Structure 1
Amino acid sequence: MFHHYEALLGEEQGLGLKISPENVPVGSMTWLVPDFNASSGGHINILRFMALLKDLGFPEQRLVVVEPHRWGSAAEAQAALNAAFGDNGIMVSLGARSIEPCQYLVATGWQTAYWVAKYRDTAKRLYFVQDFEPAFYAHGTEYILAENTYRLGLIGITAGKWLADKLRHEYGMHTIYFNFACDLDLYRPHERRPSKTKHIFFYARPVTPRRCFELGLLALKRVCDQMPDTAVIFAGWDVGGYEIPFHHLNAGTVAVPNLPDLYSQCDIGLILSSTNLSLLPLEMAACGCPLVINRGPNATWLLPEEEAFYCELDVDSIAETLVAALKNPEEMAGRAALALERSKSSNWKAEAEKVSVFLEEIA
């Protein structure tokens, strides 16, 4: 227990250098991340911004993988990173004690924030926040430790306006936010294959409690009982261990290149989240799929009410919203068309440029 929690709390490092162009490269950025894997949406977003910022005046991008990690050497981790995310010239090192002096030091998951706050040889300490991470835990030690990272004086760069507002109002953080975007070369409508069955896509993550798998499952049973010509496609995790008493496909973890065609074959998508949204709604919208999303400030910031069907986070409301949408194909098509146009206006490079301007302003 002591080893685990003391490692999370970090330790002071560095000599207290006065950071200047003479001793650190201008625009140098070091990002601390928990151990990565190729399917982690959070890591995909971090690496995306690192690659974009590298071409926007921040040429030295370093990635520090904090403990615990599974790599035997930095070279092994570097090869795995390049294979998973492409070789963008991002340098990898292992362990929080491998941080080197830099202009910007960036925390990502809350497990990295204490190390960033206690490192002295950097000009600016930042926090790339993609969700309200205390909500990942019961209201105990991990919740408190995660929540306290918002009180460390780090400057927040958040995924969406909801998080920026929450951290600013509730914790006094200095924050800016980027909007979600999607890769429009990948995510686009595919030709629909004829089917007499209505297909509901459900982002099913039973291992991620904030995605409300059980609520969705109960609601989907009601929908399929009421509409026998309906089937559910579960994707995001292998749900083969569950007894599911209605027509369904367990797609499991789907390779990213195969997602646009899958989304395009669905009549509607159900995406639930008790915290910040994932990238999925905009990516599905870019494929022309209508969406049912739970209502709340954590979710409605992305798509206006006229571009998606919004429900409450309860079984009755989820089921009723899905049934009402499926019985009104013209309304589904209209909202999907508006959301598709919004997705086409999104651009990751533009969001990275917004962040780069902010970094230059605070330098």
Structure 2
Amino acid sequence: MQGKIDVFRHYETLLGEEQGHGIKISAENVPAGSMTWLVPDFSASSGGHINILRFMALLKGLGFPEQRLVVAEPHRWRSAAEAQAALNASFGDQGITVSLGARSIEPSQYLVATGWQTAYWVSKYRDAGCRLYFVQDFEPAFYAHGTEYALAENTYKLGLTGITAGSWLADKLRIDYGMRAIDFSFACDLDLYRPYGRRPNKTRHIFFYARPVTPRRCFEMGLLALKRVCDQMPDTAVIFAGWDVSGYQIPFHHLNAGTLAVSSLPELYSQCDVGLILSSTNLSLLPLEMAACGCPLVINRGPNASWLMSEEEVYYCDLEVDSIAETIMEALRNSEETAKRAALALRRAKRVSWKAEAEKISTFLREIG
């Protein structure tokens, strides 16, 4: 009957199906070091896909030459050639082969799930030497406690080996779900993210990573705290970036920068007196990228958010309105201490590299492969 919701088509697709013949994987029947990554449909602005493609390109140069990207359903591409062209245009031609649909997976030494929607397919595919799970956040927390929360959480019980974005996730998967997991830390592109000269300005600027469409980024709590800051420090203005917030009532001096080109971010970060970054789940890449531009940071305290940088490098606040507001004002008033922390954070950003993190993962892959 038309108009009815088809639960079966959607969720049974997510649950995957048995594939493969159970062949013994060796260098005689699959290329050594071959890797296949099953991903949800991609876009150029997706931070998760940027990370995946980054590691695919780096691992390709570290002894894992055959890198394949399989785009799971649902996707918007009419052909694999169209998806390949879009991938190359968005991320550069890294020699990564694209195919469409989870049923197009071919035998390989390593098969990697990415978003939770791909994990069931990977767990049920029999012609892979190692089945891995590239976990960038605790995805059950993206949902209310219902079907999708449970389906996402259950992917950590499928016996896949985790490669996680940061130590918090690795510890959580080991302790709560008994997964084997290795973590990589974050880095940033230092050719892009670097300090620009500060322009003279009588107004102090707070950068806020504002993502009202992403609940885990705690937009509303940040907005409440920022109003208190601006009420008490009227020479302060807030720059909102990450999403268009023009539909919100914002009763203080601010700029709605919306979604910006990546190339424009370093100079913007460099002009700010403090950056506020909130997250109720795993950190984004933003703290290290902003630190590389010399911007002092305020981040919420907690094992999910404080694993990357120390108390000497950034200001930590509790995830509550009063604490956020008070910590921002402390950072703005104590310029000497704030400059000291920003300098230490900048030094950290300059010491880390994506290549070093990929080398760590490549060593692990050889150990288990």
TM-score if structure 2 supplies the norm length?
A: 0.98
The size of the alignment, in residue pairs, is 363
The answer to whether residue 342 in structure 2 is matched with residue 336 in structure 1 is: yes
1:88-133: CA deviations, max 9, x gaps? 0000011100100000000000000000000001000000000000
- Deviations 1:20-40, CA, capped at 9 Å, x for gaps: 111100000000110111111
**What CA RMSD, in Å, does the superposition of the two structures yield over aligned residues?**
0.5
> What residue number does 2:90 align with?
84
- For 2:127 and 2:85, the matched residues in 1 are separated by 28
What is the match of residue 355 of structure 1? 361
Aligned letter for 2:85? A
Paired residue secondary structure (1:127) = strand
Gaps of 5+ in 1: none
2:45 partner letter: S
Deviation track 1:151-180 (CA, whole Å, cap 9, x = no partner) reads 000000000001000000000000000010
Matched, 1:243 2:252: no
Which residue identity lines up with residue 161 of structure 1 in the other structure? S
Q: Does 1:123 align with 2:125?
A: no
The one-letter amino acid paired with 2:214 is: T
Match of 1:256 in 2: 262
For the residue of structure 1 that corresponds to 2:202, the secondary structure is coil
Q: What amino acid is aligned across from residue 22 of structure 2 in structure 1?
A: G
* Distance of 1:95 and 1:351 partners within structure 2: 30
Q: Does the alignment pair 1:15 with 2:14?
A: no
What displacement does 1:243 show?
A: 1.5
Structure 2 runs not aligned, ≥5 long: 1-6
Q: Could you say which residue in structure 1 is the equivalent of 2:289?
A: 283
SS in 2 for 1:331: helix
Matched to 2:228, the amino acid is R
Q: What is the SS of the residue equivalent to 1:356? A: helix
Q: Secondary structure at the match of 1:269?
A: strand
Counterpart selection for 2:236 from 214, 230, 236: 230
Q: Is residue 36 of structure 2 the alignment partner of residue 39 of structure 1? A: no
Deviation at 1:323, TM superposition (A): 0.8
CA distance in 2, matches of 1:83, 1:250: 29
User: Which residue number in structure 2 is paired with residue 158 of structure 1?
Assistant: 164
Match for residue 193 of structure 2? 187
Matches of residues 269-348 of structure 1 in structure 2 within 5 Å?
A: 269-348=275-354
Tell me the CA shift for residue 331 of structure 1: 1.0
Deviation at 1:48, TM superposition (A): 0.1
Indicate the residue corresponding to 2:205 in structure 1.
Answer: 199
Structure 2 counterpart SS, 1:306? coil
Aligned mates of 2:273, 2:100 — CA distance in 1 = 45
Q: Distance in 1 between matches of 2:314 and 2:34?
A: 41
Deviation per CA, 1:188-215: give whole Å up to 9, x if none.
1011111100000000000000000000
Secondary structure of the equivalent of 2:32? coil
The answer on 1:97 being equivalent to 2:103 is yes
| Aligned counterparts of 2:48 and 2:206: Cα–Cα separation in 1 | 25
SS at match of 1:59: coil
Q: Which residue of 1 aligns with 2:144?
A: 138
Give 3-state SS (helix, strand or coil) of 1:30's partner.
strand
SS at match of 1:305: coil
Cα distance between partner residues in 2 of 1:17 and 1:3? 30
Structure 2 distance, partners of 1:215, 1:83, is 37
Counterpart for residue 5 of structure 1: 11
**Equivalent position SS for 1:359:** helix
- Quote how far apart the aligned CAs of 1:361 are: 0.5
Separation in structure 1 between the aligned mates of residue 330 and residue 164 of structure 2, nearest angstrom: 34
Matched residue SS, 2:312 = helix
Separation in structure 2 between the aligned mates of residue 246 and residue 98 of structure 1, nearest angstrom: 53
> Which residue in 2 is equivalent to 1:51?
57
1:16 CA drift (Å): 0.9
Match of residue 267, structure 1, among 269, 273, 276: 273
Residues 199-218 of structure 1 mapped to structure 2, 5 A cutoff: 199-218=205-224
CA distance in 2, matches of 1:54, 1:68: 27
How much does 1:325 deviate? 1.0
SS of equivalent to 1:173: coil
Identity between Structure 1 and Structure 2 (%): 82
Q: Matches of 1:189 and 1:32 in 2, distance apart?
A: 37
* Superposition deviation, residue 137 in structure 1: 0.4
Question: SS state of the match for residue 307, structure 1?
Answer: coil
How far, CA to CA, are the matches of 1:67 and 1:332 in structure 2? 47
**Alignment TM-score, normalising by the size of structure 1:** 0.99
